[in-house]
Structure 1
């Protein structure tokens, strides 16, 4: 025992003491102490970089097709009226502030009254009422006339893309056959009175958008009832059915149907029936520069058949600055008591009604030369069958003074027509137009030596100008070469030419009040459109216009 090392003895003693202590502590929990945590890290993966390549710039110019309509107006030639009229300020396209009353008085004992009312928004629905009355009395005995007219028109657009439109109208004219020769003759006033009245109605339906079958249609029905004071009455009924089907952007097929029926009931005489029916099939081609319509118009004149051509074409050069146009077409013009009285109000009621067959061959140019300037020139040959002519009735008895006109029918005749129009327009501030038509009557076959009552030359010109903001000026000029007529002794001569110059002013003096004046026949020429019937000399009329509608905001 003496040979055991002390360090060994001490170590054994410490181990035993430790074991005893651990055996005695039973509450201590076992645990593992971690002195370092392991954090796994993934290595960054290699990424593919995509570098966008910019597109190559397109230096080519795109070819765009534009179809811009002509912005300049081309005014149609319209012969001037012989009756004194007040200045008509053009408010086309403006729906608001169009309600007005216009009143005045003139030098020929001329009362003038006109009124217009409008309703609706002018876009989806609208209505208009118009009424007018005027009369004049010249220096010659019974040189009097009176005119009254009224009309109501309306339209309505449905949600389905249809537009209904229609109207009712009334017109009455009273005048006297003052053209008796010599002027010393005397007649009871009722015996030389000439009075006409017309009741009219119209209804039309058209589609604003093409149907699923690419169809466009616009049927229309018009009815006029015309009568005079001698118990002669006439009804005119016209039904038209135009139809168009688009094949593609260039081609379209057209089909037109028309039925025109007239019945003239004469006092104590047999009624006259006059009916026209035609069908007009055709094909239309439209491109940017060329437009053509090729078709036929088979027609029936009271069961008599006639085939007419219907070929029209035009070709535009240099953006429609120069357009060549021409055609070969034919149609029937209905002859009725109403139509004849509109041409010559001094006629007897006709004893027969023969419709005029017209066939035209023409060509010309039109277009725009510079900004605001338009032109149109045309030459053609018209072949006419059954053209009505007018001669003074000097048959016998009390009617031998020639104050009434009889209607003759020219079996066949040709008219060489040459005409031209010029126009210059600057917005709505200024416009000037001028036109002339020359007619040469040839190949008159039958009993008529001349084209009685038809004018060899007509011309007119007009200026509309806004001088300042509230001052408008208009000037009208028209004239013609006199027509041929037959003297009581049977000799032939022609009337002198005519020239008429009119001017009018309208200017605002208050917010809703304007003053107007009109001067007619400033050169004071008592010319004659119809033999033995001189028109009024210089005369004027003026008055006030009151506008009372409120503008839509």
Structure 2
């Protein structure tokens, strides 16, 4: 009870004190207004309780101070190394003496490399690329490659060698570049052909086949400012090669081509011109061909922000052993429905595709002697489709077309035995469809490229074709479905993985039955189906050091010895591994 009374007394005393302070403040304010010169003073304070400072826990220092008195070691300083020299400031700043520095490369080389690898099937791989990139406007170098393999079938050998030099020079007005090279490809006619019972191998001693190719090309092209709406651009190019096989067949070719284009604000006017001289000679003089072609393509092109329209014509003249003159339209239009995302394109044209022994041999190296070389004429080519992209990570293109062709080239197994006219059944003749009525070729092409991230890149192409022929039963050797896909994975800065998948639908061949002596059975010709296949290849590379790495590549992972051409099975599963060094 007494504690309660003391508490009440303290409360009342505090209230009285606050009321006194308030009255005193009011009196001070009033006095200030009545007498501004009179100072305000406080004479006394009444202390009602002792002051006890309290420090919050958050700001307390919980470390005890170190009370020991330590003196850090101070080294003895010596200033005797200061040179006593008068500062020369009479003439102000002196001229700087520029010192020459040794020539240094503007950047580190990374494109030069050498590679060596070995694998099963007696595989040997050697490759080198050397280029000088020390100068900003000049680049030159050389490349070389060797690859050889040997399969389990007698005569199943392959070897290729490629070597060349190249150069490029960028001047103020033009850019000049060129290449001179030598290529050799060797194989054997190892085709697995059997007699009519299917028990005796007719091709017991496969003949060798070797192709050599000496080639050169050079180009001079103008450097154009894209911002100049009145610019003139031009180019001149020369191509030539000497190509021959192991059976005295050879082809000499020389070509000149160029273009001239004049920009005039919203449209361009120009022309493409080319002349090609081909001379094919065989062991049999009756198969010699002089096949020359002159082409001029004048055009006018209208270009805007969302459209591009080209109107022109292809004027072609064939001269040599045969002479013909053809005029074809050349019209193309491209409209952007949604800029960068989707564009609609379409066109119609025609042209002459020059027949070439070199091109045929690179596509099918198992050609019979004295093949016939002729041109293929696309009387009509109508196409259209969609293309576009979504940013930098997704791009696509879809195209449909319809062609009318006179002289569609096809690879057909030779009709004769080894003792009949020198032809062999495991070799191929070149036949041409559409000589009576035009061959019709319809197709669909699709392409897609996807970049999922900086680590993953995917791409693929698909081709669907259909042929309506007039002279042949089937489009021999031409598939109606093809798929090509690729992927690259950048696992890290040192580890890379890539893969390729190629697939092909059924193809057809026209074959004959043969007797044990190699002679052909009369009226035995018939169509056979070459089964479809899928070929998966994958490789990996690991950089042990910045310039040194190891690689491995596996081909035909599915291990199926499929046939691209009749009687010629491909190598099964094979692996190549080795080392590479870049500098």
Q: TM-score range by the shorter chain?
A: 0.7 to 0.9
Find the aligned partners of 1:121 and 1:242 in 2 and give their Cα distance. Answer: 32
The DSSP-based 3-state class of the residue aligned with 1:338 is: helix
Q: CA deviation at 1:102?
A: 0.1
Q: Which has the higher contact order (CA 8 A, sep 6+)?
A: 1
Question: How many residue pairs end up in the alignment?
Answer: 449
Please, which of 191, 197, 220 is the counterpart of residue 212 of structure 2?
197
Please, which of 156, 168, 171 is the counterpart of residue 143 of structure 1?
156
Aligned residue number for residue 279 of structure 2: 263
Aligned residue number for residue 252 of structure 1: 268
Q: Could you say if the C-alpha distance between residues 329 and 186 of structure 1 is closer, same or farther in structure 2, counting changes exceeding 3 Å?
A: closer
1:332 and 2:352 aligned: yes
Aligned residue number for residue 139 of structure 2: 126
Find the aligned partners of 1:186 and 1:333 in 2 and give their Cα distance. Answer: 35
The alignment's TM-score, normalised by the length of structure 2, stands at 0.74
Equivalences for 1:145-544 in 2 at 5 Å? 145-159=158-172, 161-182=173-194, 184-185=201-202, 187-189=204-206, 192-209=207-224, 214-248=231-265, 250-267=266-283, 269=285, 271-302=288-319, 303-358=323-378, 359-369=380-390, 372-398=393-419, 402-410=425-433, 411=435, 412-425=438-451, 429-442=455-468, 444-446=469-471, 448-488=472-512, 489-544=524-579
Find the aligned partners of 1:229 and 1:491 in 2 and give their Cα distance. Answer: 30
Find the aligned partners of 2:158 and 2:213 in 1 and give their Cα distance. Answer: 16
Find the aligned partners of 1:216 and 1:523 in 2 and give their Cα distance. Answer: 50
Find the aligned partners of 1:274 and 1:520 in 2 and give their Cα distance. Answer: 39
| Range that drifts further, 497-506 or 417-426 | 417-426
Structure 2, unaligned stretches of length 5 or more? Answer: 1-106, 195-199, 513-523
Deviations 1:409-433 (A, max 9, x none): 1122111111211210257643101
Q: Quote the RMSD (CA, aligned, Å).
A: 2.0
Find the aligned partners of 1:255 and 1:312 in 2 and give their Cα distance. Answer: 15
Q: Could you say if the C-alpha distance between residues 141 and 124 of structure 1 is closer, same or farther in structure 2, counting changes exceeding 3 Å?
A: same
| Range that drifts further, 534-543 or 325-334 | 325-334
The alignment's TM-score, normalised by the length of structure 1, stands at 0.78
Aligned residue number for residue 115 of structure 2: 102
Find the aligned partners of 2:532 and 2:325 in 1 and give their Cα distance. Answer: 40
Find the aligned partners of 2:223 and 2:351 in 1 and give their Cα distance. Answer: 28
Q: CA deviation at 1:212?
A: 12
Find the aligned partners of 1:388 and 1:309 in 2 and give their Cα distance. Answer: 23
Find the aligned partners of 2:154 and 2:426 in 1 and give their Cα distance. Answer: 13
Q: CA deviation at 1:186?
A: 5.1
Aligned residue number for residue 78 of structure 1: none
Find the aligned partners of 1:493 and 1:418 in 2 and give their Cα distance. Answer: 25
Q: CA deviation at 1:371?
A: 5.1
Structure 1, unaligned stretches of length 5 or more? Answer: 1-93
Aligned residue number for residue 50 of structure 1: none
Deviations 1:11-30 (A, max 9, x none): xxxxxxxxxxxxxxxxxxxx
